[in-house]
Structure 1
Amino acid sequence: MTQKDENNRSEIDISSKNHELFIRNRYKFYYNINDVLIAVWFIIGSILFFWKETETIAIWFFLLGSIELLVRPLMRIFSEVHLKNIRSGKAGSGEDTRR
């Protein structure tokens, strides 16, 4: 392998690592937004339970919080699949990995 090939490979590896870091940071941001939303839905739902006339709305906020709890592990799964596709080279081969 020539020096030029090693340099190109090194640049590709660095670029790949930077892309992976970018993807991880993006998903971390989404995780944090999701966690804040979970807290907001449950706090609003808890407050609305203080009055009889807002109990039904409170239940809907608890349902939203519960759905957000489901979204949390799904985002982790999607991020791992996304990163695995990048590592395996699918993302750089022109294939559409957004399916």
Structure 2
Amino acid sequence: MRRERHTDSHDWTFTIGHDELVIHQRYEVLSIINDFMLGLWFAVGSVCFFFEGGIKTLGVWLFLIGSVQLLLRPMIRLHRYIRFKQLPDTDHDA
């Protein structure tokens, strides 16, 4: 029995060998990945503060990266709701 697939044009599809990975709701997936990485940066950065020297500096950098990612969250959500569309060229002045 053969099934026809209808994927949304906004889905991401990756072919890996004989398998196909389809990611639905890509903005939601981006938001989840961003949140995961954000938690990772802050967790590792917090551990780095237990030590002196260069590793403490690494902690400061990870906190900075996490802070920048906090700014990405609303941008991902906003991009999900607002999409720019290329309009056809209507300038026919010769």
Range class of TM-score, shorter chain: 0.5 to 0.7
2:69 counterpart SS class: helix
Greater strand share, structure number: 2
Corresponding residue number in structure 1 for 2:58:
57
CA distance in 2: counterparts of 1:27 and 1:77, whole angstroms = 10
Larger relative CO (CA 8 A, sep 6+): 1 or 2?
A: 1
RMSD of aligned C-alpha atoms?
Answer: 2.6
Structure 1 residue 56: Cα displacement: 1.0
CA distance in 2: counterparts of 1:29 and 1:73, whole angstroms = 14
Report Cα offsets for 1:37-87 as digits up to 9, x if no partner.
0000001100100101121110000000000000000011111112xx5xx
Give 5+ residue unaligned stretches, structure 1. 1-14
Greater helix share, structure number: 1
Structure 1 residue 19: Cα displacement: 4.3
Aligned residue pair count: 71
% identical aligned pairs = 32
TM-score by length of 1: 0.60
Give 5+ residue unaligned stretches, structure 2. 1-5, 13-23, 90-94
